[in-house]
Amino acid sequence: MEASSYPLCELLQLRVRFPSLDDRNEVLYSGPHMLNNKPIIVKVWSADFNFNKEVLQTVPIWVKYPNLPLN
């Protein structure tokens, strides 16, 4: 099967093993995360995860307000 016939979500799954939970949590909670200048969602993997059944209830976004005074 050629790559163009796969659903896009199957092509973008990436699993990373960290040496410790502290390292994993640092990456997990340090967002926003980008891949090729596109936002990605980073989640903890679980054995029963099914990407096709996953329904996002919320989508985190990162908003930049240039020249916004902070006082």
Q: How many domains does the chain have?
A: 1
pLDDT digits (tens, 9 = 90+) for 44-54: 888 887 767 76
Query: pLDDT-based confidence at 71, cuts 50/70/90?
Result: confident
pLDDT digits (tens, 9 = 90+) for 12-51: 677 888 999 999 999 888 878 887 877 777 888 888 877 6
* pLDDT of residue 4 exceeding 60: no
What residue numbers bound the domain in which 64 lies?
A: 1-71
> In the numeric block, which tokens belong to residue 58?
């919320």
What is residue 20's predicted lDDT score, i.e. its pLDDT?
A: 94
Whether residue 31 contacts residue 62, with contact meaning beta carbons closer than 8 Å, is answered with yes
* pLDDT of residue 3 exceeding 90: no
